[in-house]
Amino acid sequence: MAFLTVVKQWVRDIWRVELTTRWAGGEDGTANIQAKQLAARTEYLKDFADEVLTARDGEESLLARINKSGVEPMKIMAKFEWCDDSPVAASTENIAVASGGLMTMDGINLAVGVLVLLKDQDDKRENGLWQVQTGAWNRFPGYQAADNDSLTYKLILIKYGDENGGKTFFLDKDVYTIGQSELIFAESIFSSRPAPGKVLIFDRNGQSEVGADSADLSSSLEQGRNLLDVFSVDTIAEAMAEIRRRCNNNGEIDNSKKPDFKGIMIGDYLDLPSLNDGTTNFIWNENYKNLRILVSGFNIYKGAADTENTENHILFSFRNCVTTRQMNATDINTGGYASSAMKTYLDGVFANGLRTALGGDYLYPVYRLLSTSDSNWAWNANTVFLPTEYEVWGASVWSGAKYEGGFQCQWPIFRETVYKGKKHNGSRMWWWEASRYASSASFCDVNNSIHAGYAGSSSAAGGVAPAFCVR
């Protein structure tokens, strides 16, 4: 068997066989001319594709290239512009486009002819911009197979929706054919409304939603992402292992390594299936979300304390109150939080249950500065702990704890008022802080109407929404 000799080149015109063409084999025979020309084109294009992948370090994903350091991410971002058309909604699940019909998408009632973004199709080739019809849907005019580059470097703003409102998406590739290629849409860091971890930008009309009404703004602030999706993992333990790797770059405790927190945002979350404190087994409830833990800060305590907190860490806090509990059995605050029954509980049986819920011992005990009386303070190790008044409000209100203010700062998660408000089993709840009340045997708290308060130490009605560091 013999093989054709192929010369790598771009052949502009492909030879056509005529009815009168004499058919002959061999290296230069008429039967092989077209094959050699097409093979020459293939070799030429293969080299070009290899060069492109080499320049991209083998990554076709725009998001992966944007997340790199260096010059290329800046060049890529400079190419983006707003999409010429704005969808009225974006999908949250697979849509049967063949049967189509009118429906509600992400809380929006769809009308005939409107534009929607499908990004969650089981068959990724069906993703893209579609036009709603009473029957089968069609791809929106201007974003069909013949419309080359219609989605390339375009930011698609979704203004409305329970889940997607305020978010922007982009096609995570720049070489594709609509209807034939799998289209993956990634969420961008840009938003036209305030949200944790987002960069506020103006929409194509030069407007943002900073002036939105308070109810809409409050809901928009809680747009954190599930870290299982962010890390593309299936379990809490796998997410914790990825966080440990991000804190240390190589998965081992090595203080010479720089952390890699890129892509993790304040407000991102994990939902724990259960947590057992040795007495009560708390179970995840989708309505209450008592076991949701939020990314609340990065390296908040690193470098501080008399026994230096040396390791990179991510601060997590519970979105709502896991339980209600007394700070102490009687109304005393002698020795402050460091001497309280609450600290014994959280650093003891609760921490043991949390380790099990996280799938391993990922907890990092940190030293914090806590007031022990009106005039004294001490560094104290905390594994699972309540925030101080300074860490919630950024200032002393009732505690008079000037010492705590000399070290602790307001956590990033609490810069948004909505996160200071917490619930327990669906009802608004006041919750404990780790700061002593300066004028009586009480402890400070966050009132259920979201203002600074205090309560007697023996009150069993106080909510417990603790925090912890992961390394």
d(CA 459, CA 439): 17
pLDDT of residue 279: 96
Return the SS3 of 298: strand
Handedness of CA 307, 308, 312, 316 (dihedral sign): positive
Please say whether the beta carbons of 243 and 236 come within 8 A: no
d(CA 417, CA 413): 9
pLDDT for 165-177, tens place per residue? 888 899 988 889 9
pLDDT of residue 169: 93
Structure-block tokens of residue 108: 């929006």
pLDDT of residue 62: 66
pLDDT of residue 430: 97
| Sequence-distant (≥ 6) Cβ neighbours of residue 101 within 8 angstroms | 133, 134, 135
d(CA 300, CA 309): 10
Question: Percent of the chain, pLDDT > 70?
Answer: 83
Strand-by-strand arrangement of the 384-385 sheet: 269-271, 292-298, 314-318, 467-470, 384-385
The whole model's pTM is what? 0.57
Tell which residue, 155, 256, 249, has the closest CA to residue 199. 155
Per-residue DSSP letters for 326-347?
-SSSSS--TT-GGGSHHHHHII
pLDDT of residue 30: 83
Tell which residue, 244, 197, 305, 229, has the closest CA to residue 470. 244
Please say whether the beta carbons of 144 and 178 come within 8 A: yes
d(CA 471, CA 365): 10
Query: Tens-of-pLDDT digits for all 471 residues of the chain?
Result: 677 888 888 888 888 888 888 888 888 888 888 888 888 888 877 766 565 555 544 456 767 766 655 545 556 666 788 888 889 999 999 999 999 999 999 988 888 899 999 999 999 999 999 999 999 999 999 999 999 889 998 989 888 888 888 888 999 888 899 999 999 999 887 776 666 556 666 665 555 554 443 333 344 446 688 999 889 999 999 999 999 999 986 545 445 568 888 889 899 999 999 999 999 999 999 999 999 999 999 999 999 899 999 999 999 999 999 999 999 999 999 999 999 999 999 999 999 999 999 999 999 999 998 988 888 889 999 999 999 999 999 888 888 766 675 567 899 999 888 899 999 999 999 999 999 998 788 999 999 999 999 999 999 889 999 999 999
End-to-end CA distance of the chain: 62
Number of H helices, E strands in the chain: 11, 27
Per-residue DSSP letters for 171-230?
ES-SS--TTTS---EEEEEEESS--TT-EE---TTS--STT--HHHHHHHT----BHHHH
pLDDT for 328-355, tens place per residue? 999 999 999 999 999 999 999 999 999 9
pLDDT of residue 40: 85
pLDDT of residue 214: 36
d(CA 118, CA 184): 10
pLDDT of residue 323: 97
pLDDT of residue 201: 65
Return the SS3 of 168: strand
One-letter amino acid at 369 equals L
Structure-block tokens of residue 353: 């249950």
Handedness of CA 337, 339, 345, 349 (dihedral sign): positive
pLDDT of residue 192: 66
| Sequence-distant (≥ 6) Cβ neighbours of residue 258 within 8 angstroms | 249
d(CA 98, CA 193): 34
Structure-block tokens of residue 423: 């619930």
Ordered by start, the domain boundaries in the chain are 1-55, 60-223, 229-470
pLDDT for 292-331, tens place per residue? 999 999 999 999 899 999 999 999 999 999 999 999 999 9
Please say whether the beta carbons of 135 and 78 come within 8 A: no
pLDDT of residue 219: 41
Return the SS3 of 442: strand
Cα 312–chain centre separation: 19
